[in-house]
Amino acid sequence: MAQTFGNIASNLFGEELAIHGIIQVVCVITGCALILSALMLYRKHRKNPMHIHLSQVFMTLLIGIAMLALYFIPLPF
């Protein structure tokens, strides 16, 4: 039951594509959640500016956008 190097390489590449797909889905879900969280933080900031700082809203929004941008990074071949 000896495998050639080509078979081993194709098996590893197939697993890499699956892991890449999982990472992309996690990035999209996390990015959407962070953007939604930033909107909710902004609503809290509008009610009480001393409790939630606007910088916290901007950083949460920026991180959410960055997570969504990771989805569009192509897989190198």
pTM of the model: 0.74
Report the Cα 72 to chain-centroid distance in Å: 10
Residue 28 CA to residue 10 CA, distance in Å, equals: 27
pLDDT one-digit tens code per residue, 6-31 = 666 666 566 666 777 888 899 999 99
pLDDT of residue 22: 85
Whether residue 34 is predicted with pLDDT greater than 70 in this model: the reply is yes
Rounded distance between C-alpha atoms, residue 4 and residue 45, angstroms: 61
DSSP state of 52: S
Distance CA 63, CA 75 (A): 21
Return the pLDDT at 46: 95
